[in-house]
């Protein structure tokens, strides 16, 4: 990556380098950056029977549910019942990211900032609840407290209100299961252009009946666990959580002596414009290439890929096909942390970004767990079952979504001793 | 976002627009109704729409299959239909040449999705013979990016495809998102705007929302979309510059009583960035929310010159599409009055969940 400085200077619009200095994560394998890192390194599994809703009548019903989340532990300003579960996750993640970044709320308040939160379902868990009330008690029955918190804008607005931010642009990005990468990419552009100094970006979603039922009906819910790239893979497990990244310009991070997890080198977006649910190989390949160009890297620079890796028959083959189209036969190791935390929907690529940032900082590649035999049709080294130590420079994080919405993020290693040429 | 220092050819411009509104489909119906100040809200047929409201701003006679045909519309919901139709209109009228480069043309659409689709799907799961006997073709409708993705599919937009949401500020947030994508080199041209559907479940949910202590306005629906590109790209494509986007500013307010001060700061900053003064503004399209927020907006705009264009009192509360309608109203006025060329227009939005925003345009 000796060409990185040159690469960053490639586009005249990119005036600032952008780094990640804080992580906030709520996941089924651990809440908080240390627990999450330990979970990733240890190959922990979040799979368990669903308790979020009644699963009577489903032949199988595992998910990566979070069973130990206490909103009161994180909310200091807002009453818990003002926020749906997804917004509670998002707010908890933001509080963690700020603290992990060595900042106080006042520090963040003092800067012009962006809050962008991706989601697939928003507060669909609350909409499930309201629908249940209508079915049980009549069409016009409504719980007004729940009804007021269902709009997706509240995921990002919740963070802003809880932290008391005022000089801030607040936006929710409901671009389905690639939304986390969209939100982080937006933060990158906002900081890089000099529009804002700091950003809290990521994604959040809560387990809900609606989404479990939809995937079940499509035949894509695994009966036991999620096995990405495995010959016997049977689909996804739905999951929940939030990943929020504290991002700032390199100057800002250096000036305050912040610990830097990773540099955001760039990202790419593409749309299949072909099918609402079936991913398109060429379009994903185009997205990867766009991300590399935006980051100023070549495929040879990439040390591992955090795949979208849902574990369905179709996704994994199509995704690896797209990667092969860009990288040729010499593929970097390609892992899926969905094997551990399930498919957390709008949080998925945000949590994967957090995992990539940890991997770059600590020098390891998270494993793909539950793995038995690699599907020859995929043919990747998915780092089966055990994390490996690795000296990493550049990591690629894939996000793919319904609607043919692809977003690929590229993160780079930050060496503390490197001279600060911004 | 500052654009004052930017060379004119790199400034971002609006070079086309399309609208589907309670005045009907198309720009003409919208411009005529708006300029004549005709109310587009009307008593709602409560047999078809069992809603807790007397009036509504519905797109008159809007039927997806009639407008788009039967192919590919079996499972299409109203929000998606409105978006697909409006995107189609924009491309048909202004998209010449863009089709040659579908990978560099994308869509940033503001929407809260279809709560009706989400709740209908869950209802089927709760009332069906088996809990999983739902219509799989309707599952993508329950995800909020469905209108955006379907618009790309129907019209072959392969560039960035982004869904954004932020209540009444959504339209301005979408325009700003698109501006950043263009400046970041992610596309050459973007369709940006917002869409909202009328539905029974939305009406029920909105009924209990916080309307600043006032009675809720009638709900409206529709979409407004804008073609955003650099001035150079517009000229190369043979498109007229309808407005230059000078910038947008957003802030948050911790309580409704401070929304006005926050908006005033946005206006001040967006003007300062553009090197303009409050008295340069010829047109203001405010959000005019009900109750306290509306009063806060009035006080924030107190020192701002310019004729006020009220949109919401005519078309209803179009929530996610409201700020996009305001922007469309500015273009409708500018199109009818050549004297507005080179004058400034301001669009403001206040969302009940705490966001205020202001977008400044130079007309013509």
Q: Which of A102-106, A199-203, A346-350, B10-14 has the lowest mean pLDDT?
A: B10-14
CA distance B153 to B164: 18
Contact A402 B170 (CB under 8 A): no
| Nearest CA-CA partner of A319 in A333, A309, A330 | A309
For residues B124 and B146, state if they share a domain: yes
pLDDT in tens, A230-247: 999 999 999 999 999 999
Best mutation target, A84, A144, A151, A267, to test chain B (most B CBs within 10 A): A151
Considering only the beta carbons, identify the residue of B152, B160, B251 that sits closest to A168.
Answer: B251
Domains in chain B, number: 2
For residues B74 and B153, state if they share a domain: yes
CA distance B149 to A404: 7
Contact A402 B209 (CB under 8 A): no
Q: What pLDDT score does A15 carry?
A: 84
Let me know if residue B2 belongs to a domain: no
Contact B126 A135 (CB under 8 A): yes
Let me know if residue B121 belongs to a domain: yes
Q: What residues in A contact B139, CB-CB < 8 Å?
A: 214-215, 217-218, 277
Contact A30, A242 (CB under 8 A): no
What distance, in Å, lies between the first and last C-alpha atoms of chain A?
16
For residues B23 and B75, state if they share a domain: yes
For residues B213 and B327, state if they share a domain: no
Query: With 50 as the cut, is the pLDDT of residue A28 above it?
Result: yes
Best mutation target, A18, A129, A131, to test chain B (most B CBs within 10 A): A131
Average pLDDT, chain A: 95
Unique residue bearing structure tokens 């969209």 = A182
Let me know if residue B162 belongs to a domain: yes
Q: What 3-state class would DSSP assign to A264?
A: strand
Query: With 80 as the cut, is the pLDDT of residue A1 above it?
Result: no
- Among B188, B215, B236, the domain-final residue is B236
Give B124 to chain A, closest Cα distance, Å.
Answer: 10
Q: What residues in B contact A124, CB-CB < 8 Å?
A: 118, 122, 142
Query: With 60 as the cut, is the pLDDT of residue A167 above it?
Result: yes
Give B179 to chain A, closest Cα distance, Å.
Answer: 10
CA distance A255 to A234: 49
Best mutation target, A91, A117, A122, A153, to test chain B (most B CBs within 10 A): A153
Considering only the beta carbons, identify the residue of B149, B250, B253 that sits closest to A404.
Answer: B149
Rounded to the nearest 10 degrees, how much is the dihedral formed by the CA atoms of A343, A344, A345, A346?
A: -150
Q: When comparing pLDDT for A2 and A321, which is higher?
A: A321
Q: What pLDDT score does A10 carry?
A: 36
Q: What pLDDT score does A4 carry?
A: 34
The pLDDT of B349-359, averaged and rounded, is 98
pLDDT in tens, B19-65: 999 999 999 999 999 999 999 999 999 999 999 999 999 999 999 99
For residues B221 and B248, state if they share a domain: no
CA distance B109 to A174: 10
The CATH number linked to B328 is: 3.40.47.10
Query: With 70 as the cut, is the pLDDT of residue B81 above it?
Result: yes
Catalytic sites of A, residue numbers: 177, 308, 343
Let me know if residue B106 belongs to a domain: yes
Contact A276 B153 (CB under 8 A): yes
Whole-Å CA distances, B149 to A84, A272, B104, B155: 26, 9, 16, 10
Q: 0.90 exceeded by the pTM?
A: yes
Q: What residues in B contact A277, CB-CB < 8 Å?
A: 139-140
pLDDT in tens, A383-415: 999 999 999 999 999 999 999 999 999 999 998
For residues B37 and B149, state if they share a domain: yes
The pLDDT of B198-215, averaged and rounded, is 93
User: Residue A418's pLDDT band (boundaries 50, 70, 90)?
Assistant: low
User: Residue A71's pLDDT band (boundaries 50, 70, 90)?
Assistant: very high
Let me know if residue B4 belongs to a domain: no
Contact A404 B161 (CB under 8 A): yes
Q: Which domain holds residue B229?
A: 9-236
Considering only the beta carbons, identify the residue of B146, B160, B209 that sits closest to A271.
Answer: B160
Burial of B322 (0-12, 13-18, 19+ CB in 10 A): buried
Considering only the beta carbons, identify the residue of A128, A268, A276 that sits closest to B149.
Answer: A276
CA distance A356 to A354: 5
Q: What pLDDT score does B6 carry?
A: 67
For residues B197 and B299, state if they share a domain: no
CA distance A126 to A111: 33
Tokens encoding A280: 């398109």
Contact A74, A66 (CB under 8 A): no
Q: What residues in A contact B103, CB-CB < 8 Å?
A: 270, 286
Give A94 to chain B, closest Cα distance, Å.
Answer: 16
| Nearest CA-CA partner of A21 in A124, A103, A119 | A103
Give A387 to chain B, closest Cα distance, Å.
Answer: 34
User: Residue A3's pLDDT band (boundaries 50, 70, 90)?
Assistant: very low
Query: With 70 as the cut, is the pLDDT of residue A7 above it?
Result: no
Let me know if residue B256 belongs to a domain: yes
Contact B249, B41 (CB under 8 A): no
Q: What pLDDT score does A134 carry?
A: 98
For residues B19 and B78, state if they share a domain: yes
For residues B224 and B253, state if they share a domain: no
CB pairs < 8 Å spanning A and B:
260
The pLDDT of A309-338, averaged and rounded, is 97
Tokens encoding A184: 């982080």
Closest residue of chain B to A154, computed from CA coordinates: B353
Query: With 60 as the cut, is the pLDDT of residue A221 above it?
Result: yes
Let me know if residue B187 belongs to a domain: yes
Q: What pLDDT score does B9 carry?
A: 65
For residues B189 and B257, state if they share a domain: no
Whole-Å CA distances, A20 to A96, A250, A357: 14, 9, 8
Contact A396, A409 (CB under 8 A): yes
- Among B207, B236, B265, the domain-final residue is B236
Q: What pLDDT score does B5 carry?
A: 55
CA distance A146 to A232: 41
The pLDDT of A146-151, averaged and rounded, is 97
For residues B199 and B300, state if they share a domain: no
For residues B19 and B129, state if they share a domain: yes
pLDDT in tens, B87-108: 999 999 999 999 889 999 999 9
The pLDDT of A270-291, averaged and rounded, is 96
Let me know if residue B180 belongs to a domain: yes
- Among B210, B236, B262, the domain-final residue is B236
């Amino acid at each position: 990556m000796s060409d990185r400085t040159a690469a960053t200077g490639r586009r005249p619009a990119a005036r600032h380098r952008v780094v990640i200095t804080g992580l906030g994560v709520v996941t089924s394998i651990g809440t908080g950056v240390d627990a999450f890192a330990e979970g990733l390194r240890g190959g922990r599994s979040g799979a368990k029977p669903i308790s979020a809703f009644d699963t009577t009548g489903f032949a199988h019903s595992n998910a990566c549910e979070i069973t130990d989340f206490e909103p009161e532990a994180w909310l200091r300003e807002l009453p818990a019942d003002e926020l749906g579960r997804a917004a509670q996750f998002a707010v908890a993640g933001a509080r963690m990211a700020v603290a992990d970044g060595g900042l106080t709320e006042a520090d963040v308040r003092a800067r012009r900032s962006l809050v962008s939160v991706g989601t697939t379902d928003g507060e669909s868990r609350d909409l499930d609840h309201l629908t249940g009330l209508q079915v049980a008690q009549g069409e016009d029955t409504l719980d007004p407290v729940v009804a007021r918190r269902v709009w997706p804008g509240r995921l990002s607005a919740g963070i802003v209100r809880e932290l008391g931010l005022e000089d801030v642009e607040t936006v929710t990005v409901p671009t389905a299961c690639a939304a986390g990468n969209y939100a982080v990419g937006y933060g990158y552009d906002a900081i890089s252009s000099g529009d804002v100094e700091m950003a809290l970006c990521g994604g959040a979603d809560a387990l809900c009946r609606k989404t479990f039922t939809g995937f079940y009906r499509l035949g894509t819910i695994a009966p036991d666990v999620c096995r990405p790239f495995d010959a016997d893979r049977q689909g996804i497990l739905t999951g929940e959580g939030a990943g929020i990244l504290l991002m700032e310009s390199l100057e800002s991070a250096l000036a305050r002596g912040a610990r830097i997890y990773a540099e955001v080198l760039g990202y790419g977006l593409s749309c299949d414009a072909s099918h609402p649910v079936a991913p398109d190989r060429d379009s994903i390949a185009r997205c990867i290439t766009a991300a590399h160009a935006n980051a100023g890297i070549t495929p040879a620079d990439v040390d591992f890929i955090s795949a979208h890796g849902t574990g369905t028959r179709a996704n994994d083959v199509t995704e690896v096909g797209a990667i092969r189209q860009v990288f040729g036969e010499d593929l970097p190791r390609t892992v899926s942390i969905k094997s551990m935390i399930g498919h957390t929907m709008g949080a998925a690529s945000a949590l994967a970004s957090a995992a990539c940032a940890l991997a770059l900082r600590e020098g390891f590649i998270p494993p793909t767990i539950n793995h038995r035999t690699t599907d020859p049709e995929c043919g990747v080294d998915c780092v089966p079952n055990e994390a490996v130590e690795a000296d990493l420079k550049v990591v690629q994080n894939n996000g793919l979504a319904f609607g043919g919405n692809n977003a690929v993020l590229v993160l780079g290693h930050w060496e503390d001793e490197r001279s600060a040429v911004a | 976002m500052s654009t004052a220092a930017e060379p004119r050819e790199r400034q971002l411009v609006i070079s086309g627009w399309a609208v589907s509104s309670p005045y009907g489909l198309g720009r003409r119906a919208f411009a005529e109704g708006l300029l004549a100040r005709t109310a587009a809200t009307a008593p709602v047929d409560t047999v078809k729409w069992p809603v807790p409201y007397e009036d509504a701003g519905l797109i008159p006679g809007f039927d997806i299959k009639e407008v788009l045909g039967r192919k590919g519309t079996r499972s299409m919901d109203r929000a998606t239909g409105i978006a697909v139709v409006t995107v189609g209109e924009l491309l048909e009228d202004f998209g010449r040449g863009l089709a040659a480069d579908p990978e560099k043309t994308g869509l940033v659409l503001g929407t809260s999705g279809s709560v009706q689709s989400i709740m209908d799907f869950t209802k089927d799961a709760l009332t069906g013979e088996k809990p999983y006997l739902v219509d799989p073709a309707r599952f993508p409708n329950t995800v909020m990016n469905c209108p955006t993705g379907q618009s790309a599919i129907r019209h072959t937009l392969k560039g960035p495809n982004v869904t954004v949401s932020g209540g009444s500020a959504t339209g301005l947030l979408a325009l700003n998102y698109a501006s950043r994508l263009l400046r970041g080199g992610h596309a050459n041209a973007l369709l940006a705007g917002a869409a909202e559907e009328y539905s029974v479940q939305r009406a029920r949910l909105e009924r209990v929302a916080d309307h600043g202590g006032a009675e809720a306005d009638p709900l409206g629906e529709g979409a407004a979309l804008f073609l955003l590109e650099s001035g150079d790209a517009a000229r190369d494509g043979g498109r007229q510059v309808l407005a230059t986007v000078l910038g947008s500013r957003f802030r948050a307010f911790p309580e409704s009583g401070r929304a006005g001060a926050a908006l005033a700061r946005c206006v001040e900053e967006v003007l300062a960035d553009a090197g303009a003064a409050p008295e340069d503004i010829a047109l203001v399209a405010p959000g005019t929310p009900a109750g306290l927020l509306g009063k806060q907006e009035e006080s924030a705009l107190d020192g701002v010159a310019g004729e006020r264009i009220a949109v919401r009192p005519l078309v209803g509360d179009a929530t996610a599409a409201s700020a996009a309608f305001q922007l469309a109203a500015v273009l409708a006025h500018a199109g009818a009055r050549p004297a507005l060329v080179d004058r400034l227009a301001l669009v403001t939005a206040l969302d009940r969940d705490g966001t205020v925003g202001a977008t400044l345009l130079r007309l013509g």
